[in-house]
Amino acid sequence: MKGGYGIIKHYRKGGRYISPAACVLAAGGLFLFCTIFFKLLVYFNQPDVFGLNPLIGKFSDISMVTAAVLFVASYPQYVTGGEGKYIERFVRRRLFDPRYGNPLGFREGELLPPVKCRKINRTTFELSIKAVSCTVENLLKIAPVISSSISGKYKQYAAVSSEADEAFNSVTYRIEDVMIDKSLTVDSVEGLKSPDKTKIPIDTETFIDLKTSGSILVAGKTRSGKTTGIIAILLAVLQFWRDRHGSNVIIIDPKQAELSRIPHAVTVNSNGGAEPIMEKMKEFEATMKTRQEVLNRLSEETGNAVKWWDADMNPSFLFIDEYVALKSLFPKPAKGDGGYNLTSFEGSLKRIITMGASAGCFVIISIAEASVEEGGLPSMLKSAMTTKILFKPTVEEARLIWNSERLKALNVGRTYGAGDCWFSSTDGVHDTPGCLHFPNMEFEVYAELGRLMTEYYAPDE
Ligand SMILES: Nc1ncnc2c1ncn2[C@@H]1O[C@H](COP(=O)(O)OP(=O)(O)OP(=O)(O)O)[C@@H](O)[C@H]1O
């Protein structure tokens, strides 16, 4: 309807956007009104002076049935369509109704893009908009507009990330309750225990999914909460206990700091050389190969690809603290060095990171500076690490870790405390970075880590 109220699929400058559901509901109301009108006519024309009562009676019945059909049709949109539909309506009105400024710059008569919103969990929705009559670039820019469009009972929700699909056909926004405190506070190590050995809890809504992700890169300035955050991960992993296939939890602390005092932690030798570390990495790699062989054999026997979590295996972790400092300890390759050199170290690490996840073997690398260039993390390793965490983030550091397109929706103005981070993982839910807080652990963290490490490696009785 040009210039009127009925714009549904096409943009009209002089019109107003009314959702299809509202149109159906309004039509239902109109038919209901007609039904009442016809019924009253019959009522007041009891003697049927004009002989029209049977005809009006028919109209009244048809109108009543139509009203009922329209009400039923609008019901799923308003009621069963649920919260996703509620958010869709706000977003459509903001983007499609000319009175709200036309942020996507539609021209007269242009087809309006489909908008779909689905609930992911208690505090998160995923909203996607097709790049119809607008570009992906423009859609990526309007995350703040989408945040401001959501009001009513979801006014505390905002678009925290936006990402274009591979084919550049649509943009998906992650809509989250940004006011709710999702952080996990635990007063004992058992609070970090996960019922599923493939899921490591981070907050009340988020976990690292080891089925879909691989090794973990942790970056952040000093005192940002890196070590505490990684310990929270290790405390969860240690409580899955050691499997019969040589799973490990190896802590490498090249700086001989607090972590090196944890039982079974590995550090440099008395000459400051990293030989013990190299040895431990080789051991970890050998176990990884043996585990993969077991899985291959099981797969051949069953005729199906057997995954580590189905093969009685628990996750195995190698944690390298202060990666850049460790790298600097290795000498360049030289004749007769027996493989103790930077090239072998990097080669071994690369193999574990790229091939380990399928055997349930994961690496956590911690770096104090996000630099991935000279002296930092080789970019190949950076792209192979599928879970990325930046504590107390700044945009400058984040750009070294993520594609800057992925950072557009993040609230860069916020101040972050220790334990706050930007987090991404290839789990289909956190593919674009979002903000979260690592567990608040109200117990002696290092003491508990030491106790669990001792128990983990205690010989079976
Ligand atoms: N998840 C958290 N919640 C609340 N406070 C935290 C959290 N993580 C760390 N902190 C606080 O921040 C301090 C620094 O944490 P942590 O030692 O883990 O940082 P770091 O980045 O590893 O620093 P460094 O590089 O100096 O070792 C801790 O002593 C603790 O008080």
Q: How many helices (H) and strands (E) does the chain have?
A: 12, 15
**More confident: 124 or 253:** 253
pLDDT at 330: 94
For residue 79, give the DSSP letter: I
Q: Would you say the CB of residue 386 lies under 6 angstroms from ligand 1?
A: no
Out of 49-58, 142-151, 282-291, the most confident range is 282-291
| pLDDT tens-digit map of 3-59 | 333 446 889 887 777 767 777 788 888 989 988 988 888 888 776 766 777 888 888
Kindly give the interhelix angle for 53-75 and 20-44, rounded to the nearest 10 degrees.
160
Distance, in Å, from the CA atom of 94 to the CA atom of 97, rounded to the nearest integer, reads 6
The residue extents of the domains of the chain are 20-80, 84-177, 185-457
Q: What percent of the chain has pLDDT over 70?
A: 92
pLDDT at 179: 80
Q: What percent of the chain has pLDDT over 90?
A: 59
Mean pLDDT, residues 341-350 taken together: 94
Q: Minimal CA–CA distance to 78: which of 23, 148, 134?
A: 23
CA 259 – ligand 1 centroid, Å: 13
Distance, in Å, from the CA atom of 42 to the CA atom of 60, rounded to the nearest integer, reads 9
Q: Would you say the CB of residue 399 lies under 6 angstroms from ligand 1?
A: no
CA 355 – ligand 1 centroid, Å: 31
CA torsion, points 383, 389, 392, 397, in degrees to nearest 10? 0
Mean pLDDT, residues 147-156 taken together: 89
CA 391 – ligand 1 centroid, Å: 9
Out of 70-79, 133-142, 273-282, the most confident range is 273-282
- 409: pLDDT strictly greater than 80: no
Distance, in Å, from the CA atom of 414 to the CA atom of 244, rounded to the nearest integer, reads 46
pLDDT at 67: 86
Distance, in Å, from the CA atom of 224 to the CA atom of 215, rounded to the nearest integer, reads 20
| pLDDT tens-digit map of 95-144 | 999 999 999 999 999 999 999 999 988 888 999 999 999 999 999 889 88
Q: Give ∠ CA 413-417-419 in degrees, rounded to 5.
A: 120
Structure tokens at 95: 């983007």
pLDDT at 372: 56
For residue 106, give the DSSP letter: P
What is the predicted ipTM?
0.96
- 208: pLDDT strictly greater than 90: yes
Q: Would you say the CB of residue 220 lies under 6 angstroms from ligand 1?
A: yes
Structure tokens at 23: 């149109």
Which residues lie closer than 8 Å to 53 by C-beta, 6 or more apart?
Answer: 42, 45
Residue 412 burial (C-beta neighbours within 10 Å; 0-12, 13-18, 19+): exposed
Structure tokens at 78: 């308003």
Residue 291 burial (C-beta neighbours within 10 Å; 0-12, 13-18, 19+): buried
| pLDDT tens-digit map of 411-439 | 666 778 999 999 999 998 888 888 899 99
- Element housing 140 (H / E): helix 136-141
**More confident: 460 or 90:** 90
Task: Tell me the pairing of strands 361-367 and 207-209.
Answer: unpaired
pLDDT at 180: 83
Q: How many CA atoms lie within 13 A of 429 on its CB side?
A: 17
CA 222 – ligand 1 centroid, Å: 8
Q: Would you say the CB of residue 227 lies under 6 angstroms from ligand 1?
A: yes
- 275: pLDDT strictly greater than 80: yes
Q: Give ∠ CA 172-176-178 in degrees, rounded to 5.
A: 140
Residue 81: pLDDT band (50, 70, 90) is low
185-457: CATH superfamily:
P-loop containing nucleotide triphosphate hydrolases (3.40.50.300)
Least confident of 171-180, 229-238, 356-365: 171-180
Is residue 412 classed as helix, strand or coil in its secondary structure?
A: coil
pLDDT at 41: 82
pLDDT at 77: 62
Residue 263 burial (C-beta neighbours within 10 Å; 0-12, 13-18, 19+): middle
